[in-house]
Chain A
Amino acid sequence: MARVLINVPRSARRGDVITIRTLIQHTMETGYRPNAQGDVMPRDIIRRFTCTYDGAVVFSAELSPAIAANPFLSFTTVATSSGTVTMTWEGDNGFAQTETRAIEVT
């Protein structure tokens, strides 16, 4: 499992716009860099990120090799109700990771 840093507020007022920031440990190998032997290393990137809030997709993104190593993404969503925020990363070589955070809306 790759290490992740996720910043979702624990609580928010209903209707507030909250900022979600995520960072996941991943090399994001571009497929263009040569290794010490001079051979080009195959591509190994995270291709897709999805964030769902109480089952509904609120943000998703398709990533390219142009995204830096340890992809960082920051976006916003409206705090609608108490529940869970689920974040999924999918990538090359069967990479898949899901993280959840609870949020309390008052």
Chain B
Amino acid sequence: MIVPTRRLLLAAPALLLMPRQAGATQAAMEEAVRGFTGGAAITRGRVALDISPLVENGNTVPLSVIVDSPMTEADHVRAIAIFNERNPQPHVITAQLGPRAGRAILSTHIRLATSQTLLAVAALSDGSFWSDSAQVVVTLAACIEG
């Protein structure tokens, strides 16, 4: 039996502050990304993930992704996908575009369960994948709380 020492009692609140293991993890996100790329290598660059670094309300977070691409029949963005690290599910949105889009830009509003890293991946017509990530701090979480 553990004798409740003064030191143990002082340590008790620290246990309450331990992060809850709720939601997706880095590994889950990587698997979701693999599902999108089919295991192909992803290069950083050409993609710009635009999101506020400090978010007050995780229930609606404006976000936009712009990919540097001429959007011609020969060279265009096929799809853009957004992933997160610590929501209950790693996938956020997958959008299919084509040369008729004119520009590779996508804006939407998302939910964030906690402060985390977001990843945007663009699939180009030549089969290459490009990405950008963004770190976001959230003060009021979404998803879990009623």
Contacts and interface: CB of A to CB of B under 8 A. Distances in A.
Contact of B96 (A18, A59, A77): A59
A37 B102 CA distance: 49
A66 B101 contact: no
Interface in B104-128: 105-112
B138 to A, nearest CB: 13
Q: How large is the interface on B (under 10, 10 to 19, 20 to 34, 35 or more residues)?
A: 20 to 34
Contacts of B59: 68-69
Interface string B75-104: 000000000100111011111111011110
B146 interface: yes
A77 B102 CA distance: 5
Interface of A is mostly: strand
A59 B79 CA distance: 10
A32 B143 CA distance: 6
B51 interface: no
Given A30-B143, A76-B105, A66 B110 contact: yes
A73 interface: yes
B101 A75 contact: yes
B99 to A, nearest CB: 8
A67 B111 contact: yes
A75 B93 contact: no
Nearest to A31: B88
Interface of B: 59-61, 64, 84, 87-89, 91-98, 100-103, 105-112, 142-146
Given A62-B95, A66-B92, 6 more contacts: A30-B111, A35-B146, A61-B93, A61-B106, A70-B109, A75-B101
